[in-house]
Amino acid sequence: QVQLVESGGGLVQAGGSLRLACAASGRTFSSYVMGWFRQAPGKEREFVAAISRSGGSTAYADSVKGRFTISRDNRKNMVDLQMNNMAPEDTAVYYCAAKGGRWPPVRSHYAYDYWGQGTQVTVSS
């Protein structure tokens, strides 16, 4: 049982950077694999990144590898997504999500149990 609240979305120019944050309520945050997903208009919700319960392992979509970094701080119940070298193709609503169970995660959004409300990220060219 986790409540997720995202922040940090906004408008950024191509080549710029943006950091998203997801704050989780509850005492069991460290029990969840955390992920970031995004959904662009007319497209399916797609996997962006995930991080293991301890933060020791990460996974990224090929489209963002080398540009985005996921991190978490279990002391603060936070998971972040640092997005660098952003491109218009990154424009989407970004969601943080929590998945009970062990690493490695399934990359399908169906596997995640709890979701934030989403935050809009728009990259202008």
> pLDDT tens-digit profile of 12-61?
999 999 999 999 997 889 999 999 999 999 999 999 999 999 999 999 99
Give percent above pLDDT 70 in the chain: 100
Alpha-carbon gap, residue 6 to 104, rounded angstroms: 23
pLDDT of residue 1: 79
pLDDT above 90: residue 106: no
pLDDT above 80: residue 105: no
Instruction: Cis check for the bond before 104: say yes or no (omega within 30 of 0).
Output: yes
